[in-house]
Amino acid sequence: MILAVGDLIDEIAVRLVAPWRRGSDATARITRRRGGSAANVAVAAVAAGGRARFLGAIGDDSTGSALLAALQAAGVEAHLQRSGRSPSIIVVVEPDGERTMLPDRGVAMNLVHPGPTIFDSVSWLHAPAYSLFGEPLARTTRQLFADARQRGIPASLDASSIGALAAWGPEESRRQFAELGATCLFANAEETEYLDLRNRPLQGITCILKRGSDEAEVRGEDGELLAVAAPDTLPLGVDTTGAGDAFAGGFLVARASDAPWEDALYAGHVAAQKHLLQQQHHEEAE
Protein backbone atom coordinates (compact mmCIF):
# COMPACT_ATOMS: atom_id res chain seq x y z
CA MET A 1 0.00 0.00 0.00
CA ILE A 2 1.49 3.32 -1.16
CA LEU A 3 0.22 6.37 0.75
CA ALA A 4 0.47 9.52 -1.42
CA VAL A 5 -0.09 12.92 0.19
CA GLY A 6 -0.75 16.13 -1.70
CA ASP A 7 -2.82 17.58 -4.52
CA LEU A 8 -5.82 16.21 -6.40
CA ILE A 9 -6.56 18.90 -8.94
CA ASP A 10 -8.78 19.83 -11.87
CA GLU A 11 -6.31 20.01 -14.76
CA ILE A 12 -6.99 21.98 -17.93
CA ALA A 13 -4.43 21.10 -20.60
CA VAL A 14 -3.95 23.65 -23.39
CA ARG A 15 -1.91 22.15 -26.22
CA LEU A 16 -0.81 24.85 -28.68
CA VAL A 17 -0.85 23.92 -32.35
CA ALA A 18 1.57 26.75 -33.15
CA PRO A 19 3.68 29.09 -31.00
CA TRP A 20 1.58 31.78 -29.40
CA ARG A 21 1.99 35.51 -29.66
CA ARG A 22 1.21 37.61 -26.65
CA GLY A 23 -1.92 39.69 -27.15
CA SER A 24 -3.09 37.65 -30.13
CA ASP A 25 -4.87 34.35 -30.88
CA ALA A 26 -3.26 30.92 -30.83
CA THR A 27 -4.98 27.77 -32.05
CA ALA A 28 -5.05 25.10 -29.36
CA ARG A 29 -6.55 21.78 -28.33
CA ILE A 30 -8.01 21.93 -24.82
CA THR A 31 -8.74 18.94 -22.62
CA ARG A 32 -9.82 18.59 -19.00
CA ARG A 33 -8.67 15.79 -16.73
CA ARG A 34 -7.84 14.71 -13.22
CA GLY A 35 -4.38 15.85 -12.16
CA GLY A 36 -2.14 16.50 -9.19
CA SER A 37 1.32 15.05 -8.63
CA ALA A 38 0.46 12.97 -5.56
CA ALA A 39 -2.79 11.73 -7.12
CA ASN A 40 -0.90 10.78 -10.29
CA VAL A 41 1.54 8.67 -8.27
CA ALA A 42 -1.33 6.87 -6.53
CA VAL A 43 -3.08 6.11 -9.83
CA ALA A 44 0.15 4.84 -11.40
CA ALA A 45 0.85 2.64 -8.38
CA VAL A 46 -2.50 0.90 -8.82
CA ALA A 47 -1.93 0.57 -12.58
CA ALA A 48 1.43 -1.06 -11.78
CA GLY A 49 -0.29 -3.76 -9.75
CA GLY A 50 0.00 -2.25 -6.28
CA ARG A 51 -2.47 -0.65 -3.90
CA ALA A 52 -2.62 3.05 -3.19
CA ARG A 53 -4.23 5.41 -0.73
CA PHE A 54 -4.48 9.13 -1.48
CA LEU A 55 -4.71 11.77 1.23
CA GLY A 56 -5.59 15.33 0.29
CA ALA A 57 -8.04 18.23 0.42
CA ILE A 58 -10.43 19.18 -2.39
CA GLY A 59 -13.51 21.35 -2.80
CA ASP A 60 -16.99 20.49 -1.64
CA ASP A 61 -18.33 21.15 -5.14
CA SER A 62 -19.22 19.32 -8.34
CA THR A 63 -15.63 19.50 -9.54
CA GLY A 64 -14.46 17.84 -6.34
CA SER A 65 -17.05 15.10 -6.75
CA ALA A 66 -15.85 14.47 -10.31
CA LEU A 67 -12.24 14.31 -9.12
CA LEU A 68 -13.17 11.84 -6.39
CA ALA A 69 -15.06 9.67 -8.89
CA ALA A 70 -12.05 9.65 -11.24
CA LEU A 71 -9.71 8.63 -8.43
CA GLN A 72 -11.99 5.83 -7.29
CA ALA A 73 -12.49 4.63 -10.87
CA ALA A 74 -8.70 4.24 -11.05
CA GLY A 75 -8.81 1.95 -8.01
CA VAL A 76 -7.31 4.38 -5.50
CA GLU A 77 -8.53 4.46 -1.90
CA ALA A 78 -9.40 8.13 -1.35
CA HIS A 79 -9.20 9.92 2.00
CA LEU A 80 -10.38 13.46 1.28
CA GLN A 81 -11.06 16.52 3.39
CA ARG A 82 -13.62 18.62 1.52
CA SER A 83 -14.55 22.30 1.74
CA GLY A 84 -14.83 25.33 -0.51
CA ARG A 85 -13.75 25.43 -4.17
CA SER A 86 -11.64 22.70 -5.74
CA PRO A 87 -8.09 23.53 -6.85
CA SER A 88 -7.29 23.78 -10.54
CA ILE A 89 -4.31 24.13 -12.85
CA ILE A 90 -3.79 25.21 -16.44
CA VAL A 91 -1.01 23.34 -18.25
CA VAL A 92 0.15 25.06 -21.45
CA VAL A 93 1.99 22.66 -23.75
CA GLU A 94 3.87 24.35 -26.58
CA PRO A 95 4.47 22.64 -29.96
CA ASP A 96 7.99 21.57 -28.92
CA GLY A 97 6.62 19.91 -25.77
CA GLU A 98 7.72 22.63 -23.34
CA ARG A 99 5.21 22.97 -20.51
CA THR A 100 4.16 25.95 -18.39
CA MET A 101 1.92 25.33 -15.39
CA LEU A 102 -0.42 27.88 -13.80
CA PRO A 103 -1.72 26.39 -10.54
CA ASP A 104 -4.49 27.65 -8.27
CA ARG A 105 -4.05 25.21 -5.39
CA GLY A 106 -6.68 26.77 -3.15
CA VAL A 107 -8.07 24.34 -0.58
CA ALA A 108 -5.42 21.72 -1.39
CA MET A 109 -3.26 23.45 1.22
CA ASN A 110 -5.92 23.05 3.94
CA LEU A 111 -5.06 19.43 4.73
CA VAL A 112 -4.78 18.57 8.42
CA HIS A 113 -3.46 15.37 9.99
CA PRO A 114 -6.21 12.72 9.78
CA GLY A 115 -4.92 10.60 12.68
CA PRO A 116 -2.86 7.41 12.99
CA THR A 117 -5.28 5.11 11.14
CA ILE A 118 -4.14 6.65 7.86
CA PHE A 119 -1.09 4.38 8.16
CA ASP A 120 -3.08 1.14 8.44
CA SER A 121 -1.53 -1.40 6.03
CA VAL A 122 0.78 1.26 4.53
CA SER A 123 4.19 0.07 3.35
CA TRP A 124 5.46 3.33 1.76
CA LEU A 125 4.77 7.07 2.14
CA HIS A 126 5.23 9.47 -0.78
CA ALA A 127 4.79 13.23 -1.22
CA PRO A 128 5.86 15.80 -3.81
CA ALA A 129 7.78 18.84 -2.59
CA TYR A 130 4.66 20.83 -3.49
CA SER A 131 3.21 19.39 -0.26
CA LEU A 132 5.85 21.27 1.75
CA PHE A 133 4.44 24.65 0.70
CA GLY A 134 1.33 26.20 2.22
CA GLU A 135 -0.16 25.64 5.65
CA PRO A 136 -1.45 23.53 7.24
CA LEU A 137 -0.52 21.10 4.42
CA ALA A 138 3.23 21.53 4.95
CA ARG A 139 2.97 20.94 8.70
CA THR A 140 0.77 17.89 8.10
CA THR A 141 3.23 16.45 5.56
CA ARG A 142 6.19 16.89 7.90
CA GLN A 143 4.28 15.17 10.71
CA LEU A 144 3.36 12.28 8.42
CA PHE A 145 7.04 11.81 7.50
CA ALA A 146 7.93 11.84 11.20
CA ASP A 147 5.19 9.29 11.87
CA ALA A 148 6.50 7.08 9.06
CA ARG A 149 10.01 7.14 10.54
CA GLN A 150 8.67 6.09 13.93
CA ARG A 151 6.83 3.20 12.30
CA GLY A 152 9.80 2.12 10.21
CA ILE A 153 7.95 2.92 6.96
CA PRO A 154 10.17 4.12 4.08
CA ALA A 155 9.22 7.48 2.59
CA SER A 156 10.00 9.26 -0.65
CA LEU A 157 9.87 12.86 -1.81
CA ASP A 158 9.75 14.27 -5.34
CA ALA A 159 11.62 17.54 -5.95
CA SER A 160 8.56 18.67 -7.98
CA SER A 161 9.89 21.72 -9.86
CA ILE A 162 12.52 24.42 -9.73
CA GLY A 163 9.70 26.95 -9.89
CA ALA A 164 8.41 25.69 -6.55
CA LEU A 165 11.84 25.29 -4.97
CA ALA A 166 12.86 28.81 -5.97
CA ALA A 167 10.79 30.07 -3.04
CA TRP A 168 13.49 28.55 -0.82
CA GLY A 169 16.51 28.56 -3.08
CA PRO A 170 18.82 25.55 -3.56
CA GLU A 171 20.52 25.58 -0.16
CA GLU A 172 17.34 25.94 1.87
CA SER A 173 15.70 23.29 -0.30
CA ARG A 174 18.56 20.92 0.49
CA ARG A 175 18.22 21.67 4.19
CA GLN A 176 14.47 21.13 4.15
CA PHE A 177 14.81 17.82 2.32
CA ALA A 178 17.50 16.55 4.68
CA GLU A 179 15.47 17.60 7.72
CA LEU A 180 12.39 15.78 6.41
CA GLY A 181 14.23 12.47 6.60
CA ALA A 182 12.98 10.94 3.35
CA THR A 183 14.40 7.57 2.35
CA CYS A 184 14.46 8.47 -1.37
CA LEU A 185 14.35 11.64 -3.44
CA PHE A 186 13.12 11.76 -7.05
CA ALA A 187 14.59 14.53 -9.20
CA ASN A 188 14.80 15.24 -12.91
CA ALA A 189 17.91 16.56 -14.67
CA GLU A 190 17.18 20.25 -14.01
CA GLU A 191 16.31 19.66 -10.35
CA THR A 192 19.44 17.53 -9.91
CA GLU A 193 21.60 20.36 -11.20
CA TYR A 194 19.71 23.02 -9.20
CA LEU A 195 20.20 21.07 -5.97
CA ASP A 196 23.77 20.02 -6.89
CA LEU A 197 22.91 16.42 -6.03
CA ARG A 198 25.72 14.84 -8.04
CA ASN A 199 28.49 16.82 -6.38
CA ARG A 200 26.88 17.02 -2.93
CA PRO A 201 24.59 14.06 -2.21
CA LEU A 202 22.12 14.43 0.63
CA GLN A 203 23.15 12.40 3.64
CA GLY A 204 20.85 9.49 4.36
CA ILE A 205 18.88 9.90 1.13
CA THR A 206 19.04 7.74 -1.99
CA CYS A 207 18.44 9.79 -5.14
CA ILE A 208 16.48 8.54 -8.12
CA LEU A 209 17.48 10.68 -11.08
CA LYS A 210 14.88 10.83 -13.86
CA ARG A 211 15.77 12.01 -17.34
CA GLY A 212 12.58 11.57 -19.32
CA SER A 213 13.20 9.40 -22.36
CA ASP A 214 16.84 8.85 -21.36
CA GLU A 215 18.16 6.37 -18.81
CA ALA A 216 17.39 6.77 -15.11
CA GLU A 217 19.84 6.32 -12.23
CA VAL A 218 19.89 5.44 -8.57
CA ARG A 219 22.65 7.04 -6.53
CA GLY A 220 23.37 6.30 -2.89
CA GLU A 221 23.82 8.87 -0.15
CA ASP A 222 27.54 8.98 -0.92
CA GLY A 223 26.90 9.61 -4.62
CA GLU A 224 27.81 6.09 -5.62
CA LEU A 225 26.00 4.84 -8.72
CA LEU A 226 23.85 1.90 -7.62
CA ALA A 227 21.81 1.18 -10.74
CA VAL A 228 21.07 2.41 -14.25
CA ALA A 229 18.16 1.46 -16.48
CA ALA A 230 17.44 2.56 -20.03
CA PRO A 231 13.80 3.02 -21.01
CA ASP A 232 11.82 1.24 -23.66
CA THR A 233 10.85 3.27 -26.71
CA LEU A 234 8.39 5.97 -25.65
CA PRO A 235 5.70 7.54 -27.84
CA LEU A 236 6.78 10.84 -29.37
CA GLY A 237 4.91 14.12 -29.58
CA VAL A 238 2.69 13.35 -26.60
CA ASP A 239 1.97 15.67 -23.67
CA THR A 240 4.35 14.32 -21.01
CA THR A 241 2.50 15.86 -18.04
CA GLY A 242 2.35 13.25 -15.28
CA ALA A 243 4.92 10.89 -16.82
CA GLY A 244 7.42 11.54 -14.03
CA ASP A 245 4.73 10.85 -11.43
CA ALA A 246 3.83 7.62 -13.23
CA PHE A 247 7.50 6.63 -13.14
CA ALA A 248 7.52 7.19 -9.38
CA GLY A 249 4.35 5.14 -8.91
CA GLY A 250 5.73 2.14 -10.77
CA PHE A 251 9.11 2.44 -9.05
CA LEU A 252 7.61 2.61 -5.56
CA VAL A 253 5.40 -0.45 -6.01
CA ALA A 254 8.48 -2.42 -7.02
CA ARG A 255 10.63 -1.14 -4.15
CA ALA A 256 7.85 -1.67 -1.60
CA SER A 257 7.88 -5.29 -2.78
CA ASP A 258 11.67 -5.47 -2.14
CA ALA A 259 12.59 -5.48 -5.83
CA PRO A 260 16.24 -4.66 -6.66
CA TRP A 261 17.03 -1.11 -7.77
CA GLU A 262 17.42 -2.14 -11.41
CA ASP A 263 14.02 -3.82 -11.45
CA ALA A 264 12.42 -0.82 -9.75
CA LEU A 265 13.85 1.53 -12.38
CA TYR A 266 12.52 -0.71 -15.13
CA ALA A 267 9.10 -0.79 -13.45
CA GLY A 268 9.16 3.01 -13.37
CA HIS A 269 9.89 3.21 -17.09
CA VAL A 270 7.10 0.74 -17.87
CA ALA A 271 4.65 2.82 -15.80
CA ALA A 272 5.71 6.04 -17.56
CA GLN A 273 5.37 4.38 -20.94
CA LYS A 274 1.90 3.12 -20.07
CA HIS A 275 0.88 6.61 -18.96
CA LEU A 276 2.14 8.20 -22.18
CA LEU A 277 0.41 5.61 -24.35
CA GLN A 278 -2.82 6.40 -22.53
CA GLN A 279 -2.22 10.11 -23.14
CA GLN A 280 -1.62 9.39 -26.81
CA HIS A 281 -4.79 7.34 -27.08
CA HIS A 282 -6.78 10.08 -25.36
CA GLU A 283 -5.41 12.77 -27.65
CA GLU A 284 -6.14 10.71 -30.77
CA ALA A 285 -9.70 10.16 -29.57
CA GLU A 286 -10.35 13.89 -29.10
pLDDT value at position 285? 58
Q: Are 169 and 195 in contact (CB under 8 A)?
A: no
Q: Which residues pair with 209 in a beta bridge?
A: 187, 217
pLDDT value at position 187? 95
Q: What confidence tens digit (pLDDT) does each residue in 145-167 have?
A: 999 999 999 999 999 889 889 99
Q: Are 37 and 158 in contact (CB under 8 A)?
A: yes
Residue environment code for 238-248, b if the CB has 16+ CB neighbours within 10 A, otherwise e = bbbbbbbbbbb
pTM, 2 dp:
0.90
Q: Give CA–CA dist 41/1, Å, rounded.
A: 12
pLDDT value at position 284? 58
pLDDT value at position 231? 61
pLDDT value at position 267? 92
Q: Give CA–CA dist 226/219, Å, rounded.
A: 5
pLDDT value at position 137? 97
Residues 6+ apart with CB under 8 A from 117: none
Q: Which residues pair with 102 in a beta bridge?
A: 90
Reduced to 3 states (helix: H, G, I; strand: E, B; else coil), residue 68 is helix
Tell me how crowded residue 116 is: count the other CB atoms within 10 A of its CB: 9
Q: Give CA–CA dist 229/269, Å, rounded.
A: 8
pLDDT value at position 211? 77
Residue ranges of the chain whose pLDDT lies below 50 = none
Q: Give CA–CA dist 272/229, Å, rounded.
A: 13
pLDDT value at position 19? 83
pLDDT value at position 95? 84
Across 116-270, the runs of DSSP E, i.e. the strands, are 124-128, 155-158, 184-188, 206-210, 216-219, 225-229
| Domains, the chain | 2-285 (3.40.1190.20)
Q: What confidence tens digit (pLDDT) does each residue in 199-219 have?
A: 999 999 999 998 766 778 999
